[in-house]
Amino acid sequence: MTAKKGLEKINIYSKDNNLLINLLPKFTQEKIFEQNLFDNNESAKQLLIRLSEEFKIPKFERLGYDKSESLVAFYNNTPNNTIGLMRYDTDIYKSLFPRKNDKKPLWKTMKKDEKERKMTNYNNKVEKGKKYE
């Protein structure tokens, strides 16, 4: 998937430098808030920014690299041009599709985490029961 703005930049660069660059993109994508996906794109964008602030996502990460506003994610990695809420972890927020290769996405670890929580809760109940006997 290719961002339309990126294609435009490459075309301008090739003309300015007298280079012949043939691009063959299979798909192109507009920025999220330029696609009319929401009733009010600007208020949706402001909501995303406010949520990002609440979750302590750095300002330069909120709309993706160079404010590209992309919605792209892979099971093992997420490009840095994807919006921060999808890919950026903070101390108070764990993203669904983390950026780092070594981290598994949240949805892949939820079952394991649930089993660990159940075991911890069970062990805590057993320990409390021993104290009061």
Percent of the chain scoring above 70 in pLDDT? 88
27, 39, 54, 87, 123 from 61: Cα distances, Å? 24, 24, 13, 9, 40
pLDDT digits (tens, 9 = 90+) for 56-99: 999 999 999 989 999 888 877 888 999 999 999 999 999 888 87
Q: Which two tokens stand for residue 46?
A: 């402001």
Question: What is the reported pLDDT for 40?
Answer: 96
Q: What is the rounded CA–CA span in Å between residue 44 and residue 49?
A: 9
Nearest of 132, 21, 53 to residue 61 by alpha carbon: 53
The answer, yes or no, to whether residue 46 has pLDDT greater than 90, is: yes
- Whether residue 1 has pLDDT greater than 60: no
What is the value of pTM for the model shown? 0.62
